[in-house]
C-alpha cells in the first residue's frame, strides 16, 4: 500500500462515493489524507445513505459538509441529496457551489435553502456536463447569461418551472443529449397547459408523471422517447426520422404522433395503454428495422380488434425480441395465430397472462411453431393469493402441458416469472 501513487488512492476513494466512507478511509494515514485532498473526484452526501445525517442539527450538518468539501481541491462529481432535512442557510450552500464550480462536471442537487438560491446563476457558464435537480424551483431563465456550454444531461424531478423557462433552459444547453422530466410542476399563464420544447442535439427524453393539454417536442436528433404515467391530450414529436426506441407505459393520450418517418425504429414497447390499433399500426407499420416489439396489458379500443402474427411477421422481418401478454375476453383473443408466416429471426419470446385459462398453453405452442430459431422463452404469470380449486387445477394443467411441450423444444431455454 505504501507504494500506491496518490492518484490511484484518490481514484479508490472516489469509487467509495459516500462522504462517510471517504472520511473514514482517508483517516488511514497522512498519505491517504493527502490523496483525498488533492485527487478525490467524487463526493456524495445522501440523507438516505447514512441515517445519522437526520440526527444532526442543520447547523451541525452544514459544518460537516463544509469541512469535507473544503478539504478537496479537484472535485468533479458532487451529490448533495437531502430529503427530509430542514432548510440550509443559503450563504453556506452558495459557498459549497462557488468553491467547486470551476472543476465540477456532475452535480446532483436536492437542497432546500432559506432564502431560495438560483442554481443556474451559480453553475452557468462553467464545465458542468450533468445536472440533476430535485425539489427546487427555476424562474426567469436567461439563456445568454445562464448558459451551460458543456451540459449533456439534465434531470428535473419535482421542480417548479414555467413552460417558457423550460424551453429557454433547453436552448441554453447547446450540447444537451439527455433530458429527464419527473413530476414537474409546470406553471402556466393561461388555462391551456402547453409545453413546446425544441432542441437540435437532444437524443434521449424521459417524461414521467406529467399532466398537460399539449406536449410538442421538436428534436431533429432524437433516438429514444419514453413516456410514463402521463396524462396528455396531445403529444407530437417533430423530427427527422432518427427515433430508434419508443416506450410508452401507463399513459393516457388522445392524440399521439411520433412523426411520419419512423424507418429507423428498433424498439416499440407499449404497456398499460389503451390503443387505437388502426392509427397505431399506421404509425409503426413502416418500421421494417424493428427488432423488439412489446405489447403488455394493452387494451384495444375496438374490442373486436385482432393483431395477428401474420401482420407482425410481414411488417417487421428483422424482429428478434417479441413480448405479448395474453388477453382473452368475450371469446376474442387480441393476439391471434392467423396466417402461415414464420418469425424466423425471433430468438427471445416473452409471453404472459393476467387471467389464465385452458387455451394459454395452446397459444404458447402456436408461437413456438412459428419461431423456428427461438433460443429463450420467458413466461410471466399472475397468481392470486386466494386461489380457488379451479385456478389451482388450471395452473397444474398448464404446467403439465408446458413440460410436455418443451420436450419437443429441448434447445429452448425456459424461464418462469410469477407474481
Measure the CA–CA gap between 110 and 124, rounded to whole angstroms.
Answer: 17
pLDDT grade, residue 145 (50/70/90)? confident
pLDDT of residue 232: 94
Instruction: Work out the burial of residue 1: count CB atoms within 10 Å of its CB; fewer than 13 is exposed, 13-18 middle, 19 or more buried.
Output: exposed
- pLDDT tens for 297-318 read 888 777 666 677 888 888 899 9
Question: Contacts by 28-36 with C-beta closer than 8 Å and gap 24+?
Answer: 31/2, 31/6, 34/6, 35/6, 35/7, 35/9, 35/10, 36/10, 36/71, 36/72
Measure the CA–CA gap between 267 and 260, rounded to whole angstroms.
Answer: 16
Classify 116 as helix, strand or coil: coil
- The cell for 203 is 437524443
Measure the CA–CA gap between 148 and 151, rounded to whole angstroms.
Answer: 5
Q: Are 19 and 40 in contact (CB under 8 A)?
A: no
Instruction: Looking at 267-353, list the stretches that DSSP marks H as alpha helix, in order from N- to C-terminal side.
Output: 277-284, 309-315
Helix or strand run (H / E) with residue 326:
strand 321-326
- pLDDT of residue 121 exceeding 60, the answer is yes
Measure the CA–CA gap between 224 and 4, rounded to whole angstroms.
Answer: 43
Measure the CA–CA gap between 349 and 182, rounded to whole angstroms.
Answer: 31
DSSP conformation letters of 36-84 = HHHH--EEEEETTT-THHHHS-HHHHHHHHHHHHHT-S---EEEEE-TT
Evaluate the omega torsion of the peptide bond into residue 7 and state whether it is cis, within 30 degrees of 0. no
Mean pLDDT of 357-366: 84
- The cell for 415 is 424461464
What end-to-end distance do the CA atoms of the chain give, in Å?
A: 49
Q: Helix count (H) and strand count (E) of the chain?
A: 12, 28
Instruction: Looking at 298-407, list the stretches that DSSP marks H as alpha helix, in order from N- to C-terminal side.
Output: 309-315, 360-370, 389-406
CB atoms within 10 A of CB 138: 21
pLDDT grade, residue 332 (50/70/90)? very low
- pLDDT of residue 154 exceeding 70, the answer is yes
pLDDT of residue 304: 63
- pLDDT tens for 18-35 read 888 888 888 888 888 888
Query: CB within 8 A of 310, min separation 6: which ones?
Result: 338, 339, 340, 341
- pLDDT tens for 232-291 read 999 999 999 899 999 999 999 999 999 877 889 999 999 998 877 778 888 888 899 999
Amino acid at each position: 500500500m505504501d507504494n500506491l501513487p496518490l492518484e490511484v488512492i484518490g481514484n479508490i476513494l472516489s469509487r467509495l462515493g459516500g462522504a462517510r466512507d471517504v472520511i473514514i478511509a482517508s483517516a488511514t494515514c497522512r498519505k491517504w489524507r493527502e490523496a483525498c485532498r488533492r485527487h478525490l473526484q467524487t463526493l456524495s452526501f445522501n440523507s438516505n445513505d447514512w441515517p445519522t445525517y437526520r440526527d444532526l442539527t442543520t447547523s451541525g450538518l452544514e459544518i460537516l459538509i463544509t469541512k469535507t468539501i473544503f478539504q478537496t481541491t479537484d472535485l468533479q462529481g458532487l451529490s448533495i441529496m437531502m430529503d427530509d432535512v430542514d432548510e440550509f442557510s443559503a450563504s453556506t450552500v452558495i459557498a459549497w457551489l462557488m468553491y467547486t464550480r470551476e472543476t465540477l462536471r456532475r452535480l446532483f442537487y436536492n437542497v432546500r435553502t432559506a432564502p431560495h438560491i438560483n442554481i443556474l446563476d451559480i453553475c452557468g457558464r462553467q464545465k458542468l456536463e450533468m445536472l440533476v435537480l430535485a425539489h427546487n424551483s427555476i424562474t426567469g431563465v436567461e439563456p445568454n447569461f445562464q448558459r451551460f456550454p458543456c451540459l449533456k444531461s439534465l434531470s428535473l424531478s419535482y421542480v417548479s418551472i414555467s413552460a417558457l423557462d423550460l424551453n429557454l433552459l433547453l436552448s441554453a444547453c447547446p450540447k444537451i443529449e439527455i433530458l429527464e422530466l419527473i413530476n414537474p410542476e409546470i406553471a402556466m399563464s393561461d388555462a391551456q397547459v402547453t409545453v413546446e420544447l425544441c432542441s437540435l442535439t437532444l437524443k434521449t427524453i424521459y417524461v414521467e408523471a406529467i399532466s398537460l393539454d399539449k406536449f410538442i417536442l421538436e428534436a431533429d436528433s432524437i433516438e429514444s422517447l419514453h413516456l410514463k404515467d402521463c396524462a396528455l391530450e396531445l403529444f407530437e414529436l417533430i423530427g427527422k426520422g432518427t427515433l430508434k426506441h419508443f416506450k410508452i407505459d401507463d399513459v393516457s393520450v388522445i392524440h399521439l404522433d411520433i412523426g411520419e418517418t419512423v424507418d429507423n425504429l428498433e424498439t416499440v414497447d407499449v404497456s398499460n395503454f389503451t390503443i387505437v390499433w388502426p392509427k397505431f399500426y399506421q404509425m409503426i407499420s413502416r418500421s421494417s428495422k424493428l427488432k423488439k416489439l412489446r405489447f403488455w396489458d394493452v387494451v384495444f379500443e375496438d374490442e373486436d380488434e385482432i393483431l395477428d402474427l401474420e401482420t407482425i411477421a410481414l411488417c417487421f422481418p428483422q424482429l428478434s425480441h417479441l413480448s405479448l401478454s395474453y388477453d382473452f375476453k368475450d371469446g376474442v383473443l387480441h393476439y391471434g395465430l392467423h396466417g402461415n408466416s414464420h418469425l424466423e429471426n425471433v430468438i427471445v419470446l416473452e409471453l404472459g397472462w393476467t387471467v389464465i385459462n385452458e387455451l394459454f398453453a395452446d397459444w404458447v405452442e402456436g408461437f413456438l411453431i412459428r419461431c423456428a430459431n427461438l433460443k429463450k422463452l420467458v413466461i410471466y404469470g399472475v397468481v392470486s393469493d386466494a386461489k380457488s380449486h379451479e385456478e389451482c387445477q388450471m395452473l397444474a394443467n398448464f404446467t403439465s402441458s408446458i413440460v410436455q411441450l418443451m420436450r419437443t423444444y429441448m434447445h429452448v431455454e425456459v424461464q418462469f416469472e410469477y407474481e
